[in-house]
Amino acid sequence: MKMNTNPRTQKFPAFVKLCFTLLLLAGFSFKASAQSITAAGYAFSAHSKTFSYLTGGTGIPTIEVDDGYTTISLGFTFTFCGVDYTDVTVCSNGWLIFGATVGSSANWNYNHITGGDGIAPAVFALYEDVSGVGGSSHYDVTGAAGSKVFTWECRDWKWDFDAPTPSVSFQVKLYEATGIIEVLYKQEPGAVMLNSSGGATIGIANSTSDWQVLDGVGASPASSSSTWTINLSSVPATGQSYMWDPGPPCPTVAPITVSNYNSTSITFDWTAVSGSLGYEYAVDFTSTPAPGTATPKVTTTTNSAYIGSLKPSTVYYIHVRNQCGATNYSKWEVIRVETRPACSDPKPIIISRIDSTSIDFQWPAVTSALEYQYIIDQDRSTPASASGAVTQPGTFVSLAGLVSGELYYVHYRSLCDGDDSSAWSLDSFRIPIPCRKPVLSLTNLTPTNAIIYWDEVPTAVEYEYYLGKLASPPPFGTPVKAHSFQVPYLNSATQYNAFVRCKCDYYKMKTTSDWAQLEFMTPFPLSIGNTVKDNAVAVYPNPVHDVLNITVSGRYEGSNISITDVTGRIVKTIAVTAQSITVDMKGMAAGTYFLKYKNDNNQDIIKLVKE
């Protein structure tokens, strides 16, 4: 005997929690076509047929009780509201849930679904606190593959657990080929004895907001999707058939093809379906054909789509289905795609060589990059496009023809699989103004003193000088900030070499110029009273290669110089027009010569060697 006095509050809620939880564990698959995805979209019809008890089949003793349920296999895949199932859970209280469920115990005769605690997705053959005590239940699967029919029968069922005799038998039939649901009835001789919860419900439900139920049990009742009926209190006529048809099959889309994917986006398409009203697609992390309930679905009339803003190296599932009518969709097709690794930004450039017109640099390689692009310009702004960009497989760049003193920007990025690219990285370099050697000049030359000077060299911050008798540049010199230096205590009539070079700093690029060289000879000394050897002459360099420098001490007006070979033949005659003059020796043959200086009072002869 039952102990619950109020089955509306004590029997059903616990069961609902169990069945709804277990429904989520339902095993299901998808086939090539589907019908209406809403229970409200199914077409209802009533028919008069012959009711025949099942012969054979498999017994279900678990529900030949009051308040029992069990899960059984359909033997094929059946589609209900766009979802395919391979098993169902049947209950002694006159309903069938699609999918497998488990549980311990519950009171299940509360036939109300719109309150949010109902049983779904389900078929309600006689949804009430009916009882299988004293009756029998079987199921059978008949027909050929693709056209199988599943039949669940409850024979000699009592309308109420306290009823003394059975009053009804019913069958639920599921048709594989069409997705049609049929409920067939037979009146039994016992009287209908209602329990305290009232009458029964007959219909189908996909959720607490999507259902159809009958408003009566006659030959042509209405099936409503807005009014939930719980007061049916008589047995439908023997042979009475109620059917719900999901409508014609809606073809699925052809297999989804990914045409391109990279680290952050996927482009995919499918073959257009003739007569389609449009398509829905979604991308999420759900591997089942149907996307997650919280996944946004996008409607489109084209047969291709692009999804961006994805995460690199992440598995996504693309779901696509066809729409044939307002509530008639195909089954979801699904494909798995894993985005590529991130196309990383290149790191800062490393300059290996730079001069006044060219530069060599590179950046560290990016593991996922196939190629790289770079743009060199004088605009800091990120490039709006790759127009003018250089594409290359490596990271090394050598540039020539640049302008000294100019600032250049390097925009560069990685190119990866799937037409992927990193963001543009930005770096810069400035082409240095060359550290040129100074142009040396001589002034204040005396037998014992000289001043060497030069113009300021751009970017030079310091100079080094050396004065001595070395013919080749020294390894280092004396630092000086000024653009000149004075050297006293020289020897008269002596040849010296002055060397000067620049130390430059251009935007922290420190460089050193080549040595500049100035060769000179100190003049002869003057005697006390300034009368000794008036008009003495000094020459340098000696030996000479190209240019001979001649310095005359004292008055030079009216004087001249002649150069003779060893035979006495005059090969050059030079008029002295200044204190210091130069003679071009390039055209003369190598050998020994004599330079003769003569004026009104004196004559000097100097031996020359031409190299």
For 226-274, how does the pLDDT look when each residue is reduced to its tens digit (9 = 90+)? 999 988 999 999 999 999 999 887 899 989 999 999 999 999 999 999 9
Residue 146, Cβ neighbours under 10 Å: how many? 9
Distance, in Å, from the CA atom of 85 to the CA atom of 98, rounded to the nearest integer, reads 7
Q: What fold, for 441-521?
A: Immunoglobulin-like (2.60.40)
Extents of the domains making up the chain: 7-245, 250-338, 352-430, 441-521, 537-610
Point out which residues pair with 562 in neighbouring strands: 573, 596
Check if CATH label 3.40.50.880 holds for domain 352-430.
Answer: no
Distance, in Å, from the CA atom of 538 to the CA atom of 520, rounded to the nearest integer, reads 10
The answer to whether residues 108 and 138 touch, using CB atoms and an 8 Å cutoff, is no
- pTM attached to this predicted model: 0.53
User: Which stretches of the chain drop beneath a pLDDT of 50?
Assistant: 1-34, 103-107, 109, 116, 527-534
Pairing of strands 223-224, 210-214: antiparallel
Question: What pLDDT is stored for residue 100 in this prediction?
Answer: 78
Domains 250-338 and 537-610 share a fold: yes
The two tokens of residue 309 are 């803003």
Question: What pLDDT is stored for residue 306 in this prediction?
Answer: 96
CATH of domain 537-610: 2.60.40.1220
Question: What pLDDT is stored for residue 111 in this prediction?
Answer: 61
Distance, in Å, from the CA atom of 285 to the CA atom of 459, rounded to the nearest integer, reads 62
Model confidence pLDDT, tens digit, residues 25-84? 333 333 334 468 899 999 999 999 999 999 989 999 999 998 889 999 999 999 999 888
Q: Choose the CATH number for 250-338 among 3.40.50.720, 3.20.20.70, 2.60.40.10, 3.90.1150.10.
A: 2.60.40.10
Name the residue type at position 83.
Answer: V
Distance, in Å, from the CA atom of 439 to the CA atom of 283, rounded to the nearest integer, reads 74
